[in-house]
Amino acid sequence: MVLLLAATKTRPVFWHFVPWLKVVWYLLAVASVAVFVYGVLRPIAKYRRGHGGPWPPCPWRELPGRLSTGARLLFSHATIDRRDRTAGWAHRAIFYGFIVLFAGTVILGFDTDFTEPVFGWSYFHGEFYLAYKEILNLLGTALVAGVLVMMARRAIARPAKLDYSRPDRAPGDPQYDRRVYRVGDWWFVTALLVIALTGFVLEGVRIAMDHPGYAGTQFGGWIVAQALGGASHATLAGLRHGLWWFHGLLAITFVASIPYTKAAHMLSSFASLSLRDPLAGKRLPSIRPDRAAEPAGYGALGDFSPLHLLQLDACTKCGKCHEACPANATGRPLSPRDVILELREQANHASAGIGGLLGGLLDGSAGGAGFTASVVGPNGVRAETVWSCMQCNACVEICPVGIEQAPIINQLRRRLVEEGELDSNLQSTLEVIHKSGNSFGENRRKRGRWTKELDFEVTDARKQPVDVLWFVGDYASFDPRSQRVTRSLARLFRAAGVDFGILYDAERNSGNDVRRVGEEGLFESLAEQNIAALRDCQFKRIVTSDPHSLNTLRNEYPDLGGSWAVMHHTALLLELIEAGRLEVADRLSYRVTYHDPCHLGRFQGEYDAPRSILERLGCTLIEMPRNRDNSFCCGAGGGRIWIADTPGQERPSENRIREAVGLPEVELFVVSCPKDVTMYEDAIKTSGNAEQIALRELTELVEEALVPSAALHPA
């Protein structure tokens, strides 16, 4: 028997099992699968209770494409790798190790439970078996290594992002430290480790008993076999039985527990990554006509979209968003991670019980009290947390599993706005925008007043056709510091012979930030007015000064019927320089750093045009540690520019200036957004760095480097 096995190179699955033991085993395996299936259905019932979005979360016909995109991201680990290669590789090792070992078990099961009993054909021997063992051993080893790295991170390295204590709760608050999550993490990694290790030990025992005569790369098992070399056959046999059951029971328990533990992310995270809105945060959802009469936004779990409920379960607590969030980095009571986890806890609490499961599966309507209770409150997500968000999308952008934190927070804001739970300064600014069409409360006739100091007239695009319609925006139109930049840009357009015009009185606040505040009705009204004004003009494309306007015109106006080609002024400037229409001398010798505006960088993926311009001007660009997609919000976004900061706290803009002055000999802090101009001019002064660094809008540097310079500055 031993020789036969060695010769045919396979192994018995049920070694020396009496029949009733086999029956027990199969019963347990079936039970495990049943518990697993129940655990998968339960959350689906929960998701169906979310009425704030379509069910299923995406149309069936889109599903294959979505899943293949999700699979590509999953197998490449592209999202998991970012800003943490160690964790990325460790996760890769665990992922591939787990998936291959799992596949191995399935292959074996298919042979044992299907092809052999049904067709009398078995493939689990010979070359196939050898290759199988090689691969499983290799990846089993990878799995163990990956798990050990993850354990070391938690036990030794302890990166800040894995600290689960909540910035939205004070130390001492029962909800402050999430001990239970750490226990869950350790259970998960330990279970994986023990399963993998017992597999090796079992193999070692088998080798020690059966002496199969080949080792290949079964080094794990082989090492164990050497250690057990001296043991008696009886000991080994007992060990083999014991370990088989231990490994087997642990494995089926693990399978059963997948939907209930951190392991659930294998399912939910993949689903979230596949189903997420590719424009999440950049294009916030409009209110569906069939829900227009109901309160806007998310007040209770029942208002959530099924996709967002699913995403609550998808969070792996990896902490990438926690680390990227500018609010969290500057001590505000907000971590996107904790918003998601808080909501997840509420959802799980609200959907406990089999009645909920059946009701939910049948018609999705069986919302218990938990699904109608307010999610925002002193013991839930706190209002100050919701209002701390800058809607900079750093969390959405970095989330490896596609969770839409910022859009979820925006939905919470929509309801708070509807209930009147908003900061009084913000409230009066919204009222001002409603009345005057701009956040400065200026009469709309004054919007074009910045042109008065130019020595030429800027075309009124309402009166004659233009090539380029310039949507100037509030700050660039009204803020005195930004007006200097605006005039500079106008002179450059003129010097380059651009046929451009503006909307004058007809332009309104673009609504980008109003929408991010959660005042959806005001956004709609502003967007409708702007779209109507733009429709009355003839032009080929739109250029904006403000990346915020760029975002909403490009990504959100199409939903309201306004589709045009929209670009940022930095892109147009680069185009003009490249076409030779603006001649710049490579003569500025400044050492500069460049701040990527959230709405230009992360929102539009435009990182290169501003850098390319700086290079052509002759500036030396020294990058800040947080650059490009990891750029740090100036603190103005999401309407925060209209909300007073808590006194005594470092503002995000000051934090950013500190980062810039930490660079060697940087003279200029270059920006390309009018809100950045305001925020950073202020922060340079308040942080006491006016001697160290000065602010320039990119346009101003272009004008400074222009040839001939006299053309723009008549004596």
Contact positions vs another protein (CB under 8 A): 287, 293, 296, 417-418, 420, 422, 424-425, 427-431, 434-436, 440-441, 443, 445, 478-480, 519-522, 524-525, 642-645, 647-649, 651, 682, 685-686
Element at 592 (helix H, strand E): strand 591-594
The Cα–Cα gap between 712 and 706 comes to: 8
Q: Which CB atom, from 341 or from 679, has the smaller least distance to another protein?
A: 679
- The minimum distance between CB 331 and another protein, in angstroms, equals 13
Q: Which CB atom, from 292 or from 579, has the smaller least distance to another protein?
A: 292
The Cα–Cα gap between 547 and 640 comes to: 16
- The minimum distance between CB 271 and another protein, in angstroms, equals 32
> What Å distances lie between residue 645 and 328, 425, 660, CA to CA?
14, 11, 22
- The minimum distance between CB 418 and another protein, in angstroms, equals 6
- The minimum distance between CB 498 and another protein, in angstroms, equals 29
What DSSP line would sit under 301-346, residue for residue?
GGGS-HHHHHHHHH-----HHHHH-HHHHTT-S--HHHHHHHHHHH
Q: Which CB atom, from 159 or from 295, has the smaller least distance to another protein?
A: 295
Torsion of CA 567, 571, 577, 583, to 10 degrees: 90
The Cα–Cα gap between 84 and 189 comes to: 19
- List the structure tokens of 468: 């380029």
Name the nearest CA neighbour of 97 among 130, 145, 53, 61.
145
Q: Which CB atom, from 483 or from 699, has the smaller least distance to another protein?
A: 483
- The minimum distance between CB 670 and another protein, in angstroms, equals 23
Q: Which CB atom, from 291 or from 349, has the smaller least distance to another protein?
A: 291
Angle 477-685-389 from CA coordinates, rounded to 5°: 65
The Cα–Cα gap between 43 and 49 comes to: 10
Judge whether 96 and 74 are in contact, CB under 8 Å: no
- The minimum distance between CB 600 and another protein, in angstroms, equals 25
Q: Which CB atom, from 297 or from 407, has the smaller least distance to another protein?
A: 297
Q: Which CB atom, from 190 or from 428, has the smaller least distance to another protein?
A: 428
- The minimum distance between CB 480 and another protein, in angstroms, equals 7
Q: Which CB atom, from 56 or from 521, has the smaller least distance to another protein?
A: 521
Q: What is the DSSP letter of 420?
A: T
Q: Which CB atom, from 57 or from 635, has the smaller least distance to another protein?
A: 635
Element at 500 (helix H, strand E): strand 500-502
- The minimum distance between CB 697 and another protein, in angstroms, equals 18
- The minimum distance between CB 471 and another protein, in angstroms, equals 21
- Residue 442, Cα to own-chain centre: how many angstroms? 37
Judge whether 337 and 163 are in contact, CB under 8 Å: no
- The minimum distance between CB 166 and another protein, in angstroms, equals 24
Instruction: Quickly count: other Cβ atoms within 10 Å of residue 300's Cβ.
Output: 21
- List the structure tokens of 216: 């290949």
- The minimum distance between CB 282 and another protein, in angstroms, equals 22
Q: Which CB atom, from 390 or from 643, has the smaller least distance to another protein?
A: 643
The Cα–Cα gap between 208 and 205 comes to: 5
Q: Which CB atom, from 61 or from 445, has the smaller least distance to another protein?
A: 445
- Residue 316, Cα to own-chain centre: how many angstroms? 12
> What Å distances lie between residue 593 and 42, 52, 619, 674, CA to CA?
51, 43, 9, 17
